[in-house]
């Protein structure tokens, strides 16, 4: 199945408003694809995801990355002391104390230094190379079906890792890339402050090797579970029977 067909399947079954976002993490030993645009100005990783939702495919190098926390997450540069100490996050009002913020940053998953040299981010429909991770931004109900699609064949339970900080760079990109498993995040201060992500959206990162299986799982769910749940037949029957009861 082509990238375009996969993206269309996801859009159709989940009723997504935007294309899934493909991400390739370029290793230093791999030549960076030519003819790729870079952002017009230094940008955050979450902002590139936003631009990808609107149809742009862009190359993000360390020189073009504006967020020092994301730069550390991708192994481009060390985390600045003002962030690692918790001072900035405490000042932003995200944590009660610098110590609490520092503990969050201490436990943040990060790629090894210099293990990648750049990222390519764009719509899955016409992504120019094989992606490592596919990110879907959507409603909780849509993310729920993607999670269920992961367990559709084998069953089991899923575990998710998030600190409600660095949603797009860590939760949705680094964690799926490192673990080979899906990971979802409700968002974070940074992406909600820096992008047009609506209040009701959340994120899920899918390792590319799992994508075909998840699409197959969604196709199975779409035969019965998805349409019946969305029709809310049990809810409507409950409300109808409640209203039909004689009033005291």
List, for residues 22-72, the tens digit of each pLDDT value. Answer: 999 999 999 888 899 999 999 999 999 999 999 999 999 999 999 999 999
**pLDDT higher than 90, residue 149:** yes
Average pLDDT score over residue span 92-118: 97
pLDDT at position 247 over 60:
no
Give the whole-angstrom CA distance, residue 209 versus residue 222: 21
pTM summary value? 0.94
Alpha-carbon span 225 to 21, nearest angstrom: 26
Residue 137 in this model has a pLDDT that exceeds 60: yes
- Residue 32's pLDDT is 86
Q: Do 114 and 72 meet the contact criterion of CB atoms below 8 Å apart?
A: no
Average pLDDT score over the chain: 96
Residue 173: pLDDT band with limits 50, 70, 90: very high
Would you say how long the chain is, in residues?
248
């Amino acid at each position: 199945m082509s990238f375009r067909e996969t993206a269309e399947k996801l859009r159709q079954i989940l009723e997504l408003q935007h294309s899934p976002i493909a991400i390739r993490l370029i290793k230093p030993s791999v030549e960076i694809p030519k003819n790729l645009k870079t952002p017009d100005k230094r940008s955050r990783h979450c902002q590139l995801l936003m631009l990808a939702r609107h149809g742009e495919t862009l190359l993000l190098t360390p020189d073009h990355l504006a967020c020092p926390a994301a730069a550390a997450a991708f192994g481009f540069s060390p985390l600045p002391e003002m962030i690692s100490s918790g001072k900035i996050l405490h000042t932003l009002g995200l944590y009660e104390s610098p110590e609490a913020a520092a503990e969050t940053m201490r436990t943040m998953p990060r790629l090894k230094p210099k293990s990648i040299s750049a990222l390519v981010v764009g719509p899955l429909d016409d992504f120019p190379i094989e992606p490592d991770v596919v990110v879907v931004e959507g409603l909780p109900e849509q993310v729920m079906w993607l999670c269920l699609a992961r367990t559709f064949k084998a069953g089991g339970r899923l575990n998710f890792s998030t600190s409600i900080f660095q949603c797009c760079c860590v939760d949705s990109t680094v964690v799926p890339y490192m673990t080979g498993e899906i990971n979802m995040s409700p968002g974070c201060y940074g992406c909600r402050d820096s992008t047009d992500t609506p209040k009701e959206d959340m994120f899920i990162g899918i390792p590319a090797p799992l994508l075909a299986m998840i699409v197959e799982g969604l196709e199975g769910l779409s035969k019965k579970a998805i349409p019946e749940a969305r029709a809310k037949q049990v809810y409507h029957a409950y409300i109808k029977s409640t209203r039909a009861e004689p009033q005291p």
